[in-house]
Amino acid sequence: VVLNQDVYATPSPHLLTKDEISTVNLFKQNTPSVVYITNLAARQDVFTLNVEQVPQGAGSGFIWDDKGHIVTNYHVLKNASDVRVTLQDQSVYEAKFIGADADKDVAVIQIDTDKPLKPIKLGYSGNLEVGQNVYAIGNPFGLDHTLTTGIISGLNREIASGNTGRPIENVIQTDAAINPGNSGGPLLDSSGTLIGINTAIYSSTGTSSGVGFAIPSDTVQGIVEQLIKYGKILRPSLGISFAPDASVKQLGVSGVLVLDVPEGGPAYKAGIRKTTRDDFGRLVLGDVITMIKGRDVTNASDLFRALDQCSVGETVEIEVLREYSKQVVEVTLGDRPSA
């Protein structure tokens, strides 16, 4: 006699779901492309006077091409006397600095190796959607090749570069955990292609609070290609120094107050006036920039955004508030190296 019984199968502890298998494969396929970067600084021993190289920071990066170019954040390399790169197999190489864009916090270094390298697969960040899955691989707190997952929480964010204060636009916001050491690592979509560089977190403690930011790959690609080819990026410049926004607000003025106009620069040639003092020591305000090429300028971020839409050598109309009247001045923009 055969008894009808319900049969219950005990699931294997190693049985993975389809989504888990996809995540595991994504990690395995992309881990060889992610590197650990150590920033070394020269320090002199106070007793022996010997100069030693001491680690002063660390971060992540990823292999860009088979020529050994590696992309990371500029702030990972800032003030380094030497940079070392550790690959997945734990082999360590000294890296050559190729170039950086401090405004956008992107840098390129290069290692010389005969080993075959696996460049990361470049994706497209122009069609991202809020809610889609993302994956961050990096080296948080020195723990090499760590994977965190999350979603895109927001698009078209703007953050300030920690290096220059200039705005970085179209930034990706994610809740994938990004901690110290993740900087410079890749943010991937579910197909394993690069959609951004993990660059910053919003946190009061310095650790992940669920609000991380990544520079989109479309922005990164253009920067990296120029850095590899020319070693630098030139951005248009007025050739001025200006007052902090807070100081301008205290004066009850809207715009960018020109403090100094170095001789021979674009603004100097165009006759833009700097802030001075009269014979009695009283402050005489310089020109206040209120518009560039038809775009309103109310603060420094507006100024940088307007200049980002211009080209070196381009002649643009700039509206300034001079004393009590507005005037239009034509300025031929100069160039300013990015780093």
C-alpha distances (whole Å) from 264 to each of 258, 271, 275 are 16, 11, 17
Among the listed residues 103, 105, 189, 302, the single catalytic one is 105
Which distant-in-sequence residues (6+ apart) come within 8 Å of 314 by Cβ? 236, 332, 333
Dist. CA 140–CA 200, nearest whole Å: 13
Return the amino acid letter for 245. D
Catalytic, 75? Answer yes
Helix ranges (H only) for the chain are 18-30, 74-77, 217-230, 245-250, 266-270, 300-308
Dist. CA 83–CA 57, nearest whole Å: 10
Show the tokens assigned to 278.
């009269």
Taking alpha carbons only, the member of 238, 339, 245 closest to residue 301 is 245
Show the tokens assigned to 137.
């691989």
Among the listed residues 75, 103, 125, 161, the single catalytic one is 75
Catalytic, 183? Answer yes
Show the tokens assigned to 29.
């396929």
Q: Which helix H or strand E contains 166, and what residues bound it? A: none
Dist. CA 335–CA 339, nearest whole Å: 12
Q: Which helix H or strand E contains 70, and what residues bound it? A: strand 69-72
Taking alpha carbons only, the member of 288, 276, 275 closest to residue 318 is 288
Catalytic, 245? Answer no
Which positions are catalytic?
75, 105, 183
